[in-house]
Structure 1
Amino acid sequence: MSITATEAPTATSTSGGPHHEASSATNDATTSQETYGQLVADKMLLLDYQNVLIQSVLTERFSGAPPAHIDQTVSDFDGVIYHISTPETKTKIQLSIQIRCYKDLVKYGAEQVLQREYGQYVVPPEPGYDFSVLIDLENLPEEKEEKDALIMKMALLKRNAMAAPFEAAYEEHYKLKEEASKYTSEEAPQGVREGGEVMAIHYREEEAIYVKASHDRVTVIFSTIFREETDRVFGKIFIQEFVDARRRAIQNAPQVLFRNDPPLELQGVPGVRDTGTGEIGYVTFVLFPRHLTPQRMPDCISHIQTFRDYFHYHIKASKAYIHSRMRKRTADFLQVLRRARPDSEEKERKTASGRTFKVQGA
Structure 2
Amino acid sequence: MGVDLEPDNLYLRQTIADKFTKPTALDQSFVDFDSVRYRLTTPVSKTQLVLSIDIPCWHELDQYGARAILEREYGSLVAPAADTEDGYSVTLRLDLEQGPPAGDERTALVNAIALLKRNALAAPFECAFAIQRDMEQNPVEEGAKDPRAQVMSIHYRPEEAIYLLPSSDRVTVIFSTIFKEETDRILGKVFLQEFVDARRRPSCQTAPQVLYSNREPPLEIRHLPGLDTTERAGYVTFVLFPRHFAPSTSSNTITQIQLFRDSLHYNIKCSKAYLHSRMRVRTSEFQKILNRAKPEQPENDADKARKTASGRTFVRT
Q: TM-score, normalised by structure 2?
A: 0.90
The residue aligned with 1:95 is 51
Deviation digits for residues 87-141 of structure 1 (CA, Å, limit 9, x no counterpart):
1111100000000000010111111111111111011211111100011011011
Matched residue SS, 1:151: helix
The residue aligned with 1:18 is none
Alignment-mate amino acid for residue 254 of structure 2: I
Matched residue SS, 1:190: coil
2:236 pairs, out of 283, 286, 292, with: 283
Measure, in 2, the Cα distance between the counterparts of 1:344 and 1:134: 78
Measure, in 2, the Cα distance between the counterparts of 1:282 and 1:146: 41
Distance 1:104 1:359, change over 3 A: farther
The residue aligned with 1:116 is 72
- The answer to whether structure 1 residue 47 and structure 2 residue 5 are counterparts is yes
Q: Quote the offset at 1:173 in angstroms.
A: 0.8
Distance 1:289 1:345, change over 3 A: farther
The residue aligned with 2:121 is 162
Matched residue SS, 1:247: coil
Measure, in 1, the Cα distance between the counterparts of 2:172 and 2:298: 72
The residue aligned with 1:250 is 204
Where structure 1 has 5 or more consecutive residues not aligned to the other structure, the ranges are 6-43, 351-355
The residue aligned with 1:236 is 189
Q: Is 113-122 or 47-56 further displaced after alignment? A: 113-122
- The answer to whether structure 1 residue 59 and structure 2 residue 33 are counterparts is no
The residue aligned with 2:309 is none
The residue aligned with 2:222 is 267
- The answer to whether structure 1 residue 295 and structure 2 residue 248 are counterparts is yes
The residue aligned with 2:32 is 76
The residue aligned with 2:310 is none
Alignment-mate amino acid for residue 130 of structure 1: S
| 1:128-143 map, 5 Å | 128-142=87-101
Of structures 1 and 2, the one scoring higher in RCO (CA 8 A, sep 6+) is: 1
Q: TM-score, normalised by structure 1?
A: 0.79
Q: Quote the offset at 1:143 in angstroms.
A: 5.1
Distance 1:341 1:133, change over 3 A: same
- The answer to whether structure 1 residue 209 and structure 2 residue 162 are counterparts is yes
Q: Quote the offset at 1:345 in angstroms.
A: 8.6
The residue aligned with 1:197 is 150
| 1:214-225 map, 5 Å | 214-225=167-178
Measure, in 2, the Cα distance between the counterparts of 1:115 and 1:96: 14
- The answer to whether structure 1 residue 104 and structure 2 residue 63 are counterparts is no
- The answer to whether structure 1 residue 144 and structure 2 residue 71 are counterparts is no
Matched residue SS, 1:236: helix
The number of aligned residues is 304
Distance 1:357 1:332, change over 3 A: farther
What is the aligned-residue RMSD (CA, Å)? 2.3
Deviation digits for residues 293-312 of structure 1 (CA, Å, limit 9, x no counterpart):
01101000000001110000
Measure, in 2, the Cα distance between the counterparts of 1:252 and 1:85: 45
Deviation digits for residues 277-319 of structure 1 (CA, Å, limit 9, x no counterpart):
3111101111112102011010000000011100000111111
- The answer to whether structure 1 residue 330 and structure 2 residue 289 are counterparts is no
Alignment-mate amino acid for residue 83 of structure 1: R
Matched residue SS, 2:210: strand
Distance 1:337 1:297, change over 3 A: same
The residue aligned with 1:319 is 272
Deviation digits for residues 74-98 of structure 1 (CA, Å, limit 9, x no counterpart):
1100000000010111110000000
Alignment-mate amino acid for residue 190 of structure 1: K
Measure, in 2, the Cα distance between the counterparts of 1:287 and 1:266: 16
Q: Quote the offset at 1:188 in angstroms.
A: 5.6
Measure, in 1, the Cα distance between the counterparts of 2:108 and 2:316: 79
Matched residue SS, 1:273: coil
Where structure 2 has 5 or more consecutive residues not aligned to the other structure, the ranges are 307-312
Alignment-mate amino acid for residue 262 of structure 1: P
